[in-house]
Homo-oligomer: A and B are copies of this chain.
């Protein structure tokens, strides 16, 4: 199983982390992002969106970090990570959309601006980042995990860009429940980190 990867991408890290936690072997192919490899015809054949991560599992290609998490959890029947009952799937999915939309427009965009020099409205992204963290903090005020009593792919999808928020110029120090939750993720067996996450 080959992951088209960038070490500094929080989206790629979601996949690396999930595979590490579940002992899923992964062959890492480092996309030369700085040289623009993701904008070449060869890469667009793999993912017309020109984005990483992309997973190639023996010829089956799937893009988008949230989709890769569902694919892997379903393939390996990791049912605590991707429960099969309707209510849990609805609950998990609303946080996957949160990762794909609100977190992407908030902490992820602010970091893209500061770390990669992407031209975007960084003030607005920083406000959204704080709102994102606040909503998570409220949600986690009486919970250990985003959905149910154990970690799911919802936690994996939301964790990286919240943990990397400081690289977009936004401090998350005041969000005590979010910090407790992040420490619980960091305390999971076989947890791996990425640059920017201590």
Which residue numbers of A lie inside 8 Å of B, CB to CB? Answer: 48-49, 60, 62-64, 66-68, 70-72, 74-75, 84-87, 89-91, 93-94, 96-98, 100-102, 104-105, 121, 135, 138-139
Contacts and interface: CB of A to CB of B under 8 A. Distances in A.
Contact of A93 (B48, B70, B84, B135): B70
Per DSSP, are chain A's interface residues mostly helix, strand or loop, or mixed?
helix
Contact of A97 (B66, B72, B85, B90): B66
Contacts of A72: 86
A169 to B, nearest CB: 20
A89 B71 contact: yes
Given A49-B98, A67-B97, A71-B93, 4 more contacts: A48-B139, A68-B90, A71-B90, A74-B90
A60 B48 contact: no
B94 A67 contact: yes
